[in-house]
Chains A and B, each alone.
Chain A
Amino acid sequence: MNGFPGFVLRRLAGAVVTLLVLSVIIYVVFYATPGNVAQITCGPRCSPAQVHQVAQQLHLDDPLYVRYWHFLQGVFVGQDYSTGTSVEHCAAPCLGQSYQTGREVTDIIWAKLPVSFSLVSGAMVIWLLLGVGTGVLSAWRRGRLSERVLTAVTLAGVATPVFVIGLVLMIVVCGELQLLPFPQYVNFTDDPEQWAWNLLLPWLSLALIEAAGFARLTRASMLETLAEDHIRTFRAYGVGERAVIVRHALRGATASVIALNAVTVGSAVGGAVLTETLFGLPGIGQELVRAVKVVDLPVVVGMVLVTGFFVVLANAVADVLYAVADRRVVLA
């Protein structure tokens, strides 16, 4: 099949395969990880008999392939589970229940996603402004002070781990200058204004890490465009430098910036682990780290599938956007 529908179908099939393989990998790796899951779940002082009961409860004694089969069943047809006092149904796609808390994994994901989206969406605006801005300046005003300062700032952003940038920002901005309250997640639906004020520093910290990539990309594509024949022609005809930069060179960079942005957003949804941890934002990344530490396999698999889904989706979106923006590209 050709054309756009064919592309979508192939990408979809590819995504399903990728996610399935991903879940197998996670199952195998975590099966091999040390840590007696039943003992961790039961508590450090549980007797062997109690640990055995918990293991049975969670089907931990079953062979790996049986557990994986159980997982797949949940995803495609749902599953029932007991709370002790009643039997509940977890509808497909059911990713199972947390070993630690008994909560349905899909519930946990729905609770964490808005936080991760909030973090990434705002940070995106900043990294685009800062990154593309720096890129334009460094292509246009090469060697000027403003360009050098901005380039240094973005590079410092890449070079300094987020836990250092974030903590220092918090100490200075919230503690010493008292310009902002210490960040604390507020639901967008509860209070949009507080939501934004509280997320400002997390946004800035996350954006600083990513901005340099955008700056370099913008700069490179603009320089490429500026060297092309038609731009030289424009210049020769006396088109103003500003118009050349804005109308032509920047437009030339748009396609690749959009593409990079889609991919960065996709991976940051589940990948902003350190930013979420430092600022106490209860997002996907923070939950993933918690779950890994206590070998809470259903949660780990569920979260990895979600983050994997966003990475795959973002790649597909990037390719489509790229193809739309740059007609040279053929979606095959």
Chain B
Amino acid sequence: MSEALAAVGAAGTDTTVPAAPGARQFWRRLREQRAALGAAVVVALLVLVALAAPLLTALEGQDPTTYHPDLIDSARGGVPIGSFGGASADHWLGVEPQTGRDMFARLVYGARVSLGVSLGATLVQVFVGVAMGVAAGLGNRWIDLVLSRITDIFLSLPLMIMALALLAVVPDGFPRPVLVALILALVAGWSTTAKMVRAQTLALKNLDYVSASRLSGWSTWRTAVRELLPGLAAPVITYAALLVPSNISAEAALSFLGVGVKPPTPSWGQMLTSADVWYQAAPQYLLLPALALFVTVFAMTVLGDGVRVALDPRAASRLRVGTGRKREARAQAAVPATEPKKEEGA
């Protein structure tokens, strides 16, 4: 991503960041937004389902790996017997074609992998990206040059190709979901985050209060932690909310190319990969994981918006543009925008 792309994260969060809100303030602002609150509940539920997968399947009395050959029609390609994919009191969401494995169990266990891989990859991307971006932004010319070039190189590596190659190199014993998450995070993703963070850092470091802290003899490290990171939080979180769905999609794409997590471990991406051809013969096989994926992405996006608004009160005022008189009052209360000087990479 180019410096210019920093705009994706930066837009809507002016670089003139007021002091970050305290935790209490943050929660209050988050609670004020009904949509965000709903999304938070959905995300929490999804995480809960993933964590409680063994309990939920025990409740149903099934597991994700046992075959049920009696529930499928072998002569017709293994399509589930009965309507709605063979849904019954025993198999709440029916069974998988060809194997007869329980769909509900595979879906909730699949949540573990899909959410785990995408959230894990996002965390690593954000961590590496922020570290590289802040270091490049605060460091001297040479550090900046070297780190920016490294970022560029990773930016140019085609993810799918590197994933195909690396997954073949790494020994089989390495846990596959962790590996997939690491590849997603380290080959792609972090470099765009780093670019954005670097641009933000460059803008922030010229602001009065950050410059002041630097001039007053604080170490670079202390400046970074105390003054910069709070200012970076809003754009980074906005950006992370975009990374989660793209990571989920990438995991599915890797499955499609045959290098995702390994069977019998289920993941939503893997289910989609084998299910797309069943769209006509057993639609629920495709629709269930697709729906799960959609709900997750939707909730994550809305929640990300909400968190950003809660972190950045000015954003809140902007989001309500055109909704009434309050707008005027809030806008006037906002800190006047100063023109940030953005620098372009070497």
Residues of A bordering B, CB below 8 Å = 7, 10, 14, 17-19, 21-22, 25, 29-30, 32-35, 139-140, 142, 152, 155-156, 158-164, 167-168, 171, 209, 213, 216-217, 220-221, 223-224, 226-229, 232, 241, 253, 255-256, 259-260, 262-263, 270-271, 273-274, 285, 288-289, 292-293, 300, 304, 307-308, 311-312, 314-316, 318-319, 321-323, 328-332
Contact A227 B331 (CB under 8 A): yes
In the bound complex, residues from chain A placing their C-beta under 8 Å from that of B169 are: 29, 32-34
In the bound complex, residues from chain A placing their C-beta under 8 Å from that of B12 are: 220-221, 223-224
> 18 A-B Cβ contacts within 8 A?
A10-B346, A25-B153, A139-B321, A159-B293, A159-B296, A160-B293, A164-B276, A164-B286, A216-B301, A256-B8, A289-B164, A292-B164, A307-B156, A315-B152, A316-B2, A319-B4, A330-B343, A332-B346
Contact B245 A158 (CB under 8 A): yes
Is residue B297 contacting chain A, with contact meaning CB distance below 8 A? Answer: yes
Q: A10-B346, A29-B162 are in contact. List 17 more A-B contacts (CB 8 A).
A: A33-B168, A162-B253, A167-B279, A213-B8, A229-B336, A259-B2, A259-B7, A263-B5, A289-B257, A311-B156, A315-B2, A318-B2, A318-B3, A319-B344, A330-B342, A330-B343, A332-B343
Q: Which chain A residue has the least Cβ–Cβ distance from B336?
A: A229
Is residue B14 contacting chain A, with contact meaning CB distance below 8 A? Answer: yes
A312's partner among B156, B160, B317, B318 (CB-CB below 8 A) is B156
B344's partner among A21, A163, A323 (CB-CB below 8 A) is A323
Q: Which chain A residue has the least Cβ–Cβ distance from B334?
A: A227
Q: How far is the CA of A318 from the CA of B246 in the complex (A)?
A: 22
In the bound complex, residues from chain B placing their C-beta under 8 Å from that of A289 are: 160-161, 164, 257
* Shortest Cβ distance from residue B97 to the other chain A in the assembled complex, whole angstroms: 16
Q: A220-B12, A289-B161 are in contact. Are A163 and B273 (CB under 8 A)?
A: yes
Q: A152-B298, A329-B342 are in contact. Are A318 and B253 (CB under 8 A)?
A: no
Contact A155 B7 (CB under 8 A): no
Contact B162 A227 (CB under 8 A): no
User: Interface on chain A toward B: helix, strand, loop, or mixed SS?
Assistant: helix
* Shortest Cβ distance from residue A93 to the other chain B in the assembled complex, whole angstroms: 18
Q: Which chain A residue has the least Cβ–Cβ distance from B3?
A: A319
Is residue B249 contacting chain A, with contact meaning CB distance below 8 A? Answer: yes
Residues of B bordering A, CB below 8 Å = 1-5, 7-8, 11-12, 14, 149, 152-153, 155-162, 164-166, 168-169, 238, 242, 245-246, 248-249, 252-253, 256-257, 269, 272-273, 275-277, 279-280, 286, 290, 293-294, 296-298, 301, 314, 317-319, 321-323, 328, 331, 334, 336-337, 339-346
Contact B155 A315 (CB under 8 A): yes
A227's partner among B149, B317, B344, B345 (CB-CB below 8 A) is B317
In the bound complex, residues from chain B placing their C-beta under 8 Å from that of A171 are: 279-280
Contact B156 A22 (CB under 8 A): yes
* Shortest Cβ distance from residue B122 to the other chain A in the assembled complex, whole angstroms: 14
Q: How far is the CA of A316 from the CA of B345 in the complex (A)?
A: 10
* Shortest Cβ distance from residue B303 to the other chain A in the assembled complex, whole angstroms: 13
User: Interface on chain B toward A: helix, strand, loop, or mixed SS?
Assistant: helix
Contact A328 B8 (CB under 8 A): no
* Shortest Cβ distance from residue A239 to the other chain B in the assembled complex, whole angstroms: 14
Q: How far is the CA of A24 from the CA of B296 in the complex (A)?
A: 39
Q: A227, A228, A316 — which one has the most chain B CB atoms within 10 A of its CB?
A: A227
Q: How far is the CA of A308 from the CA of B157 in the complex (A)?
A: 7
In the bound complex, residues from chain B placing their C-beta under 8 Å from that of A312 are: 152, 156
Q: How far is the CA of A158 from the CA of B153 in the complex (A)?
A: 25
Contact A25 B157 (CB under 8 A): yes
A156's partner among B152, B294, B317 (CB-CB below 8 A) is B294
Q: How far is the CA of A150 from the CA of B54 in the complex (A)?
A: 37
Q: A232-B328, A311-B156 are in contact. Are A216 and B242 (CB under 8 A)?
A: yes
Contact A259 B153 (CB under 8 A): no
Q: How far is the CA of A285 from the CA of B253 in the complex (A)?
A: 13
Contact A328 B340 (CB under 8 A): yes
B160's partner among A19, A29, A273 (CB-CB below 8 A) is A273
Q: Which chain A residue has the least Cβ–Cβ distance from B330?
A: A227
Q: A223-B319, A318-B5 are in contact. Are A161 and B156 (CB under 8 A)?
A: no
Q: How far is the CA of A215 from the CA of B68 in the complex (A)?
A: 45
* Shortest Cβ distance from residue A69 to the other chain B in the assembled complex, whole angstroms: 21
In the bound complex, residues from chain B placing their C-beta under 8 Å from that of A161 are: 249, 252-253, 256, 269, 272-273
Contact B276 A163 (CB under 8 A): yes
Q: Which chain A residue has the least Cβ–Cβ distance from B251?
A: A161
Contact A220 B273 (CB under 8 A): no
Q: How far is the CA of A14 from the CA of B245 in the complex (A)?
A: 31
In the bound complex, residues from chain A placing their C-beta under 8 Å from that of B344 are: 7, 319, 323, 329-332
In the bound complex, residues from chain B placing their C-beta under 8 Å from that of A17 are: 149
Q: How far is the CA of A331 from the CA of B343 in the complex (A)?
A: 7
Q: How far is the CA of A328 from the CA of B340 in the complex (A)?
A: 8
Contact A322 B158 (CB under 8 A): no
Q: A32, A152, A273, A321 — which one has the most chain B CB atoms within 10 A of its CB?
A: A273
Contact A163 B155 (CB under 8 A): no
Q: How far is the CA of A224 from the CA of B16 in the complex (A)?
A: 13
Q: How far is the CA of A322 from the CA of B2 in the complex (A)?
A: 10
Q: A18-B152, A158-B246, A289-B164 are in contact. Are A224 and B318 (CB under 8 A)?
A: yes
Contact B164 A159 (CB under 8 A): no
In the bound complex, residues from chain B placing their C-beta under 8 Å from that of A160 are: 249, 272, 290, 293-294
B11's partner among A220, A232, A292 (CB-CB below 8 A) is A220
Q: How far is the CA of A332 from the CA of B249 in the complex (A)?
A: 36
10 closest A-B pairs by CB: A259-B4, A220-B12, A256-B7, A322-B4, A159-B297, A308-B156, A315-B2, A318-B2, A220-B11, A227-B318
A158's partner among B165, B297, B322 (CB-CB below 8 A) is B297
A34's partner among B4, B168, B273 (CB-CB below 8 A) is B168
